[in-house]
């Protein structure tokens, strides 16, 4: 019921957005813009380039800005919150029309968000959320339900291991410390596997959402733990890095160790189709078109839904084989 109502909200949000786009379509001022040239300027602060997901997300944002006629100022924060805060302050100084960003961590944004609000610049949270108590500091949050992704991953495992009579040892590769998808995927997965007391997380460490991080932490896990049955990696890239460590340890990924990841980028889907991964919960990086629609709307002073959720699915090995030829990212 929860997911059905979210779906309805998402559909409703899309309908409203399409309506706005149509309404703005013929306007030279870009939806009630106050700038001389009528063009909306967006300042976007990106987390970094840590994963295949992030690369696809950046491409989506850049291409959609061009398609929507929005002038994009783009900054790569290299996974550092201080760089994001600096970029946002620059955008405020430059008096951009809209600020959008994907917060590298959840906490510590109140001051800079307040500065944007005081300057009258609307902020759109993209992909990841913040934990600010004051919800008026931003207009909306566009992105996935990360708890749900973790839950879907955990539920699949519960089903796979329902006949297990002894302990099932799970290791977990977390995203960067303090990031919404790391916190939420951990939570959702943990809640789902609680259904079977045989399923135990024996080690859990951040691998920073990168291949190098995934490889390095998996090496440590393999050294420290004799029996590892399952790996849950918070994204494909860490899972892909872990494959190298697993193979080097003389184990067969996808067989000796069941591997579950999140994202479903092309390389992850290939590993799944090849039998090296066992299950992926999808997380869509293609947020650009919706983000640009939202920017036009908030710039025009229209009310937008406080939360817009991305539609996602899951993939088994068979489903990955089918989906792979048409996968765009």
56-75 footprint of ligand GYE as x/- string (CB under 6 A): --------------------
Instruction: Name the segment binding ligand GYE (CB under 6 A); options: 45-53, 118-126, 220-228, 244-252.
Output: 45-53
Single residue of 105, 116, 128, 217 touching ligand GYE by CB under 6 A:
128
Site string for ligand GYE, 250-269 (x = CB under 6 A): ------------xx------
- Output the six-digit token pair for 193: 């596997």
Establish if 97 lies at the interface with ligand GYE (CB under 6 A).
Answer: no
31 part of the interface to ligand GYE, by CB under 6 A:
no
**Between 128 and 299, CB nearer to ligand GYE:** 128
Looking at the DSSP bridge assignments, the partners of residue 151 are none
Rounded to the nearest 5°, which phi and psi values hold at 281?
Answer: -95, 125
Establish if 54 lies at the interface with ligand GYE (CB under 6 A): yes
To the nearest 5 percent, what fractions of the chain are helix, strand and coil? 45, 20, 35
Q: In angstroms, what is the minimal distance from the CB of 118 to ligand GYE?
A: 28
CB of 176: closest distance to ligand GYE in angstroms? 8
Helices 146-160 and 180-193, axial angle in degrees (round to 10): 30
Q: Which is nearer to ligand GYE, 121 or 320 (CB)?
A: 320
Non-local (6+) Cβ contacts of 6 within 8 A are: 145, 309
| Euclidean distance between CA atoms 52 and 35, whole angstroms | 36
Query: How many alpha carbons fall within 13 Å on the CB side of residue 187?
Result: 11
Neighbours of 253 (CB within 10 A): 23
Taking the C-alpha atoms of residue 22 and residue 202, their distance in angstroms, rounded to an integer, is: 53
**Binding positions for ligand GYE, 150-169, rule CB under 6 A:** none
Query: Least separation, in Å, of the C-beta of 149 and ligand GYE?
Result: 8
209 binds ligand GYE (CB under 6 A): yes
- Tell me which stretch binds ligand GYE (CB under 6 A): 50-58, 60-68, 153-161, 311-319: 50-58
Residue 277 engages ligand GYE in binding (rule: CB under 6 A): no
Residue 199, helix vs strand vs coil = strand
Q: Is 105 in the site for ligand GYE (CB under 6 A)?
A: no
Q: By CB neighbour count within 10 A (0-12 exposed, 13-18 middle, 19+ buried), where does 269 fall?
A: buried
Q: How many residues bind ligand GYE (CB under 6 A)?
A: 13
| 225 within 8 A of 202, measured Cβ to Cβ | yes
As a dihedral over the C-alpha atoms of residue 267, residue 270, residue 276, residue 279, rounded to 10 degrees, the angle is: 90
Contact 218, 245 (CB under 8 A): yes
Counting contacts by CB under 6 A, is residue 284 touching ligand GYE?
no
N-term to C-term CA, the chain:
31
Q: Is 208 in the site for ligand GYE (CB under 6 A)?
A: no
Minimum distance from CB of 68 to ligand GYE (Å)?
A: 22
Smallest gap, in angstroms, from Cβ of residue 226 to ligand GYE? 30
Residue pair 309/145 in contact (Cβ under 8 Å)? The answer is yes
Binders of ligand GYE in range 223-242 (CB under 6 A) = 235, 237
SS3 46: strand
Of the residues 168, 242, 259, 283, which one makes contact with ligand GYE according to CB under 6 A:
283
Shortest Å, Cβ 51 to ligand GYE: 4
Residues in the site for ligand GYE, rule: CB under 6 A?
50-51, 53-54, 127-128, 181, 209, 235, 237, 262-263, 283
């Amino acid at each position: 019921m929860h997911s059905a109502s979210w779906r309805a909200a998402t559909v409703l949000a899309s309908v409203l957005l399409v309506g706005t786009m149509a309404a703005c379509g013929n306007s030279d001022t870009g939806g009630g813009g106050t700038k001389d040239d009528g063009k909306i300027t967006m300042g976007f602060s990106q987390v970094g380039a840590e994963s295949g997901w992030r690369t696809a997300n950046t491409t989506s944002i850049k291409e959609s800005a061009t398609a929507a006629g929005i002038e994009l100022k783009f900054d790569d924060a290299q996974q550092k919150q201080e760089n994001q805060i600096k970029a946002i302050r620059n955008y405020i100084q430059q008096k951009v029309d809209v600020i959008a960003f994907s917060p590298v961590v959840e906490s510590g944004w109140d001051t800079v968000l307040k500065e944007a609000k005081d300057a009258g610049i609307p902020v759109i949270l993209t992909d990841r959320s913040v934990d600010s108590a004051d919800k008026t500091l931003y207009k909306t949050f566009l992105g996935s339900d990360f708890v749900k992704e973790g839950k879907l991953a955990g539920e699949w495992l519960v089903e796979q291991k329902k006949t297990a009579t002894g302990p099932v040892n799970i290791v977990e590769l977390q995203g960067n410390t303090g990031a919404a998808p790391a916190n939420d995927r951990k939570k959702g997965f943990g809640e789902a596997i609680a259904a079977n007391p045989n399923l135990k997380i024996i080690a859990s460490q951040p691998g920073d959402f990168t291949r190098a991080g995934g490889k390095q932490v998996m090496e440590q896990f393999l050294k420290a733990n004799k029996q590892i049955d399952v790996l849950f990696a918070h994204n494909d890239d860490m899972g892909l890095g872990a494959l190298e460590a697993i193979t080097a340890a003389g184990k067969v990924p996808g067989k000796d160790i069941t591997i579950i990841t999140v994202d479903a980028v092309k390389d992850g889907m290939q590993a799944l189709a090849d039998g090296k991964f066992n299950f992926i919960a999808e997380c869509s990086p293609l947020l650009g078109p919706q983000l640009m629609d939202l920017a036009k709307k908030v710039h025009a002073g229209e009310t937008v839904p406080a939360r817009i959720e991305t539609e996602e699915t899951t993939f088994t090995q068979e489903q990955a084989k089918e989906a792979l030829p048409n996968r765009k990212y």
